[in-house]
Each structure stands twice: as structure tokens, then as C-alpha cells.
Chain A
Amino acid sequence: MKRLLISTAIAGLMGGTALAEVRIGVLVPDSGPAGLFGPSARQAAALAAEDINAAGGINGEPVELIFADVGVPPAQAVQAVQRLWRSDGVQGFVGMHDSAVRAAITGQLRGQLPYVYTAVYEGGECATGTYVTGETPAQQLAPVIPWLAENEGVSRWYLIGNDYNWPRDTNAAAQEIIAASGGTVVGEEYVPLGASDFDASLGRIRSSGADAVLVTLVGGDSVGFNIAYSAFGLDQQALRLGTLIEENTLAGIGSANANRLFASMGYFAGIDSDAARDYAARLGATFGSDAAQPNGMGESIYDGLMLLAALSNAAGSLDAAAVAAVADGTAFSSPRGEAVLDGNHVAQTIFLADGSSGAFEVVTRFDSVPSGVTCP
């Protein structure tokens, strides 16, 4: 990470003397619970900047990235955002962080700068000038639940998540999709963030007769739950589907505890495509032993930067109004594949992967899945 800091600094110095530059603020979590996505997000950003500059930059000017840690409470995160905006002169933002920070940032920007939000989230963001590449519950679940019903024969769903907005909103979407696919919800429960004891929940899952569990626990809670889940042999009874279980979380769960653990996201390190293989290879080549495990959360920054570059090139500038005028229908490509802006969200490819072996293997893909968010 330190090497990355230095190289961006040098790039900045050299670029500063030669050419005018477009500065983009990249908001990644370096600290806090999401801090483990910091390194992969920074590396994704560096590769994206390389690719944008190789393709001629943003409106013909090279892009310079300025990073800020937003793995802190919203009040401190917006301090960094304002500093990048007012002191460092960034012209647009790409951010991967939690929804509280997003709400605080849109409140500060008020549509004056284009801002791309890239994290998996609950949907519903309609602030002016805000564009979302992050997967919504509709994207992660609408094609996947019917597919699992058909191919794995599951219909009795148990929903368990942490007790906050994202899991609750995801499960609200899941309720409708499950009902539409002919399944039933046999249980729904929430545990406080930071929970470490899931025995009671596991007992309920067992007695509910569920044959599938939708897991919307996050971070360490998800790891703890999945370890205990397998220890009790529940993997024999019900498969698991996670919408925020990426490679780091799976590594924490361990291969011994991952039997029939599925995940649905827009990116996995194991996507079988040239773009994805190329991305992984370049991470290794660029960062060597410092290369972070690629994952959907970190990689999303790449998508965000690509979208921002595409928007700016289409509009001819990063002026918020100009970008807004051309936004709808803007397309870009990334290791995930092709995506198109539909409203202020993207229609994108969603992958379903099986983690049973301890590494995610993509079992199927769904192209051009709409976000399900319509803004007034």
C-alpha cells in the first residue's frame, strides 16, 4: 500500500509539470470494520487509472487519484470529502463505503459534483448527481432465487441478517421474490451488529425445516455464523446464499465450513472471462506480493472509475449538469463485463458462485440484470 501511495504521488508530480489533470477523489475504507477492503479497493483504483489514462484519460487529460479513508464515522468521512473537494480540487468522487457515509456525502455534495457509489447496498439512492454501480437486492436475488429453486430444489427460505437497514431492506426484497418464485419464508430474524453467539438462531433454522438460508450478516458476524452453522451440520439441511460473502469472508469461514455456501455478486475473482483473468493477472504483476485478494467490494472501485470516465467523456466535462444530461444509457466495461447506466443505477451481470471448495466457483451468470430502482 505504501508503494502505491508513493507511485501515485510521483505520478502526480510528473503529471503536474507536464499536463493539466483531472483529479478524482477515491473514497475507500482503510480503517473500521470495512478496513479489510481498503487494500483491494486502492489497487482496483490504481489499475482503473492506468486503463483510463492508457485510453486517453478523461476528456483527453490524465486522471489523478486522491484517496481518502472513509472507514470512519460519517462526520469524519465528510471532513475528508470536503477537504478533497475544496482544498485538493477534485472534480468527481468514486466511493465504496457504508450507507450512512453515503447519505452524509450526498448531503454535502448536493449534486454539485458527480459521485459514483460502488458498494453492494439496499437500493433507493436517488440523490442528484449520484450514480450507483453497486449491486442492489433486486439484482442479487431476482434471478438467483428462482434459479436455486429450479436447480437446487429449494423453496423454504430462512432469512437471517444483522439488525440494520441493508439486511432489512434486502430481506424485504427477498420476501417478494421468494413468494413470486413459489417459495415460502419460514423464518426471518436479525441479530445485533457484533453478535458472536448464533446458537439460538441455528436452533430455529433447524426446527423451521428450511432448505435455504439467506445470509445478510456482515463481516465477522457472517464468519462466526457460518462456522457455527457447519459445526452443527446444518449444511446438510439447507444451502446458504449470501449477498455480501466475498473472498475475504469466505477465507475467514474456511473451506471446512463452506459446504453448499453460495454467493451472489457482480464480481468474483474466479469469473471465467478474459477481462476478469486479465484483471487478476495485472494485480499480481503490478503489486507483486502486496497484491490484495481481489473481491467484489474492492473491485467495485474499478467499475466506479470506469463509469465516471465514461460519463465525463460522453458529457465532455465533469460538470454535474452536463454529466446528468448524458448519463442515461452510458455504457462501460470492467472485469465484471458490460454494464449500462439505466437511470442512475446500472444494469449489470450478476454471478452466482459456489464456495463449497473454499474458493468461489461461478456456477452461472445472469446478464443485464436491472437494478430495480426507479427514481422519480
Chain B
Amino acid sequence: MGSIVTVNLALAAGLLLVPWLGGDFLAWQIGLFLLYGVAAQGVGFAWGRGGFLPLGNALFFGLGAYGAAAVLKATEGALWVNLAAMALIALLCAALAFGIALLLFRGRMGSGPGFSLVTLALVLIAAQIAETTPALTGGFNGFSGYPPLAGLDPFGGLYPVIVALVVAVTLSLTLIERLPAGLILRGLVAQEERLELLGFAPHRVKAWAFAGSAGIGALAGSLYASHQGIVTPQAIGFMLSAELVIWAAVGGRFSPLGPLLGAVAIGWASSALRDTVAWWEVGVAAVFLLVVLLQPGGAMDLIHRGIARLGLTRRRRDAPPLPAPPSRAAAARGPLRLCDVGLSAGGIRILDRLSLALPEAGILCVIGPNGAGKTTMLNAVTARLPVQSGQITLGAVSLGGKATWQMLDHGIARKMQIPTVFGALTLRENLQLAALAGRMRGLDALRPSPLRWQTPPVARLLADPEVPLAAGLDKDAGHLPQGHRQFLELAMTLSPEPRLVMLDEPAAGMSPAETQLMVRLARDYQQQTGAAIVVIEHDMHLVDALADEVAVLHQGRTLATGSLAEVRRDPLVAAVYAGGHK
């Protein structure tokens, strides 16, 4: 916390000194690029933190600018009315962005270029409308003839207001990084699928990030209107959008200060040098190209590395853990039933009217030859693949039409076949995210204390001397050996205390000792919580050690159910396995 205050105080002091040291004119010049910088911070937030690149963020900058200009014209001078109206415009822009992102990301669109291109098309549309509706926007020649905010002189009183916005935005973005919201965003970029299995809706997380990005842009735009005294279509155009991206990239998109630095440095230098250095534009493009190729973290990344080398980074003190609030996953009830579930992919029928009733409690092992549809069955339950016919119900509730992220609230948690953890995050952060799962509500994302939550299952695992997690909590999960990663994923899966745990080959890649530990942990969890556990497994020794009940799948159907001994006696099962015991 201390460093955040220091950095932002230094930022505020440094910026407020500009008019004293460099004069009102320099402050006015810098003011413009600070406003662009704030909009670039918005781009950096969506791109660096949210993992998706908006190519049309001038849309919100421009809407803020035109909106503020219209308000200033209509309400001449009333400060609080103006400020309230500008805040409202920023909120509306954020809401618009939220809606756009929600619609786009809910579909099949990932964080890929599709989203970027939609935002590009949107800004092209907006610029075209701004240019061709002179009655509304002043057209190409621009919208002018309004007083600046509260009569503040762009060469005087407006500058501190701009600095206030810069510091407020920088502070907020830095704080968010230290809050659950920031952790969730990092989880989103690191491993979207795991985040979804932990009950977070990726499209909503992205929509919030985009809304923040847009709101910031609109705030910057609304002050830009006062700073310039005129708003022209360029303020809502594609070129500005592209420049915001360039500034964010060169300055460093992963840091709240990076885009600000990029915009002020490149913008101000361009304005000062464009007329004297003949190859200026070429130079800027070349620097941009080199940054993309060689230094994806931008200038701030270099600075951070320099600071780290000097040993100036402070170690974070660990606050004592807090007991986590009850999990929604633990409250869910009812056995899971699959009834005549059919699922095809690529023209191949994988689940063929599969029916299976899971026990309310206890461990069910699902076995079957390769291609029997075991993993696909889990995918059907967790809505990773769309079910084409039949029904999946949990107690009285149908799970049909629900999304993966909703499963945790129904008490369903899943460990993947290939261990899926947040590789770029530390073990501690992985567990912090898992502690939020199923327990976080509303504004918890913006409070610091939920990061200290500890859940009973994780506390038990960390206290267990055999479990290899407690020692390396500050290591990156991506560097863990395969076996350790399995235990981390298990811890994250059990953390929300689910009523139905699905483990897909939990002992893959494990030593015999680790396999034994895994068996014990699964059994312990079942006994402590009375949950149901479904295990997909090939290893018959493991099945023998774990299973209260066994189901055999073959060609997308249930072939047999019962105890392992019963199933083994089943002639149908014997026929299927006749080819070779596995």
C-alpha cells in the first residue's frame, strides 16, 4: 500500500509542478497528452489486464467529448450540473461498453481479433455519423462555441482538474490490481477455462473490464472538450483509436502508468519535433514495431526490471488469513441424473442416449475403453459441449441451457484431465482465486479482505504434511512439476466445498506415492463433506481403492453399474474388455 501512495503522490506532485517550472503553456500542452494518456490507460487496462485489444476506444473518448461539449453549451457555467452530467456521460459510455462486450463475449467470440474488429467497425461508424450530421455535431468543422468547464481557463485552472483525473484514474487502476477484481482479471488472462470452472463468468469479467476502459476514456474525452474548446470527428476517429493502442504498447500496457508515459512522451515529442525532424513519423512507427517485436511489455517493463535489479521492490507482508464466508456450492442439493443424453461432434456420435444416475454421496468411478465418452460426459455436465438431446438434472433443477460458470453455484466442481491451473500466477494467488470461488458477492471484488480468505478444504490441505503445496506458495504455478500441479488443481477444485466433484484422471503423471496421497485426499474430502465424487480412471488399482460404485461406459452408453466386483462379473463388460485388460 505504501508504494501506491508514494507513486501517486509523486505523480501528482510532479504534474502539478509543471506549470510552476515550465509555464502555463507547457502545462496546456502536457494537459492534452495527459488526457490522451488517460484514454490510453483505458486501452492498456482492457488489453494488458483484460487480455482483449479494443481497436476503437476513441469511440468513448469522442462520446465523452461531444457529450460534454453539448452539456457545457446547454448549461453554461453551472459547475456541479456540469460535473454531474459528465459523470453521467461516462457512466452511460461504460454501460454501453458493458453491453457491447457482454453481447460479443457471450457468444463464441474469444478474446481474439474478432472483438478488436467489431470495435474498429464501431468507431468507423461513429466517425462517419459525426462527420455527416452537421446539425448535431457540427460535422467535419467541429462542435464549438461552448464555455469551458466552470469557466476554467485551459491555460490555468483546468490543468489541476486534469491532473486530478490522471491521479484518480492511475490510483484506481493501481488499487484494482491489488484487489480481488484485479486478481480475477489476471486469472482470466492466465487461464480462462479454470476461471470459468471456479464460477466466474468470463464474458462478465471482460465486460466489466471493457466498461472500465470505456468510462475512463469518456472522462478523459469530457475534459478534452474543455481543454480544446472544439470537438471534431477526429476525436472519435479510427486514427486516434490506433494511436491510443500505440501509446499503450510503447509505454507498457501491463502497468497503469505505462500508457500515460507513452502518450505524454510520444505525443509531446511529436508536437515539438514533427516540424523539425523530417523522419519523425517514420521513427515513431519504427519504435512501435520494435516494441511489438522485442519488448512487448513496453517502456514500463524496462523500468520495472531496472527497479527490480536495484533491489528496490518491497516484499509484501502477509496478512493473517480470515475465515471465508460459506460457499454457495456447499448449499446445493440433489443427485445428478443424466437421462438419454445425446451429443455429436464433427458428425460422430459420442454420447448415445446416455443415462446415468449418480449417487447423492460417495465415490463413483467411471471406466470404459478409450472413446467410450467418459470425458465427453463430464463436458456435457459442465456445459463445455452443448447437449443435443436428453436431459441433465440436479435434483429438481434442469441444467440444460446453463453455462459452465453457473455450474459451481449448483455445487459442481471439476478437475480437468490435463491439470488446468493459472500458470502465470503464484500458488498463493491460485488459492486466493479458488477461495473467492462460490463465496464472493457483489462488492467483494473491490474490498481487499477477501484476498485473505482461507477455506476449510484448503486449510486442511496446506496443513497436511504430505501435500507438496505449503512450501512454495510464492512460486509461479506454471513452474510446478506435473504431480504438484495435480494437487494444486485438486485444492482449487475442492476449495469452494462442492457437493459434486468430478475428477478426470486425477492421478495422471503421478508417482505411486502421489497416487496414494490423491486417493486419500479424495476419500477424506468425501467423508468430511458427504459429497459425491465422480472419478474417471483407467487404473484399476486406483478404482479398486476409491470406488464405492463403478459405472462402465461403452460407445456413449452406460454398459453396467454396480460395485467393482459386480461389474467385473458382467459378461457384457468382459466382452468389451476382452481385447486387452487395461
| Contact bitstring A66-90, B, C-beta under 8 A = 1, else 0 | 0111001111101110110011000
Chain B residues within 8 Å of A164, by CB: 131-132, 134, 139-141
Say which one of A97-105, A271-279, A307-315 lies at the interface with B. A97-105
Which chain A residue lies CB-closest to B139?
A: A165
Q: Which residue of B lies closest to A99 (CB)?
A: B141
Asked if B470 is at the interface (CB within 8 A of a chain A CB), the reply is no
B369 at the interface (CB under 8 A from A): no
User: Which positions 300-329 of chain B face chain A at CB distance < 8 Å?
Assistant: none
**With A75-B32, A192-B132: A107-B230 Cβ-Cβ less than 8 Å:** yes
CB-defined contacts of B32 to chain A, threshold 8 Å:
75, 79
Closest to B28 in A: A82
Are the CB atoms of B235 and A75 closer together than 8 Å? yes
Is A69's CB under 8 angstroms from B275's CB? yes
> Chain B residues with Cβ under 8 A from A168's Cβ?
134, 139
Over the window 218-261 of chain B, the binary record of Cβ atoms lying under 8 Å from chain A Cβ atoms (1 yes, 0 no) is 00000010001110111101011000000000000000000000
Q: Nearest-CB distance from A370 to chain B (Å)?
A: 23
* Assembled-state Cα–Cα distance A83/B29 (Å): 9
Check if A193 sits within 8 Å of B131, measured CB to CB. yes
Asked if A100 meets B140 with Cβ closer than 8 Å, knowing A80-B275, A107-B230, A192-B128, the reply is: yes
* Chain A residues with CB below 8 A from B278, complex form: 2
* A357 sits at the interface (CB 8 A): no
Cβ-defined contact, A82 with B25, below 8 A: yes
For the complex, would chain B's binding face be called helix, strand, loop or mixed by DSSP majority?
Answer: helix
**Least Cβ distance of A173 to chain B in Å?**
15
- Knowing A79-B32, A98-B140, say if A67 contacts B134 (CB, 8 Å): no
* A82 to B271 alpha-carbon distance, docked (Å): 11
Is A237 an interface residue when CB atoms closer than 8 A count as contact? no
Please report whether the interface of chain A is mostly helix, strand, loop or mixed according to DSSP. Answer: helix
The residue from A31, A69, A79 contacting B29, defined by CB atoms under 8 A apart:
A79
- Establish whether residues B229 and A108, one from each chain, have CB atoms under 8 Å apart when the complex forms: yes
Q: Would you list which residues of chain B between 265 and 279 have a CB under 8 Å from chain A?
A: 270-272, 274-275, 278
A198 interface residue per 8 A CB criterion: no
Q: Please name all residues of chain B whose beta carbon is closer than 8 Å to the beta carbon of A86 when the two chains form the complex.
A: 25
Are the CB atoms of A104 and B25 closer together than 8 Å? no
How far apart sit A60 and B29, CA to CA, in the bound complex (Å)? 34
A86 and B320 alpha carbons, distance in the complex (Å)? 58
Residues of A within 8 A of B234 (CB): 73-75, 100
Q: Are A99 and B274 in contact (CB under 8 A)?
A: no
> What separation, in Å, do the CA atoms of A358 and B555 have in the docked complex?
78
Which residues of chain A from 151 to 198 have any CB-CB distance to chain B below 8 Å in the complex? Answer: 163-166, 168, 190, 192-193
Q: 20 more A-B contacts (CB under 8 A) besides A80-B271, A164-B134?
A: A31-B281, A74-B230, A74-B234, A75-B32, A75-B228, A79-B271, A82-B25, A83-B29, A83-B271, A83-B272, A100-B142, A100-B232, A104-B144, A104-B232, A107-B229, A164-B140, A165-B141, A168-B139, A190-B132, A192-B128
The contact sample of 7 A-B pairs, CB cut-off 8 A, is: A73-B234, A74-B230, A75-B224, A82-B25, A86-B25, A100-B141, A104-B228
Binding site for B on A (CB under 8 A): 2, 30-31, 67-69, 72-76, 78-80, 82-83, 86-87, 98-100, 103-104, 107-108, 163-166, 168, 190, 192-193
List the 10 closest A-B pairs by CB distance, nearest first: A164-B140, A73-B234, A107-B229, A86-B25, A79-B271, A100-B232, A99-B141, A163-B132, A165-B141, A165-B139
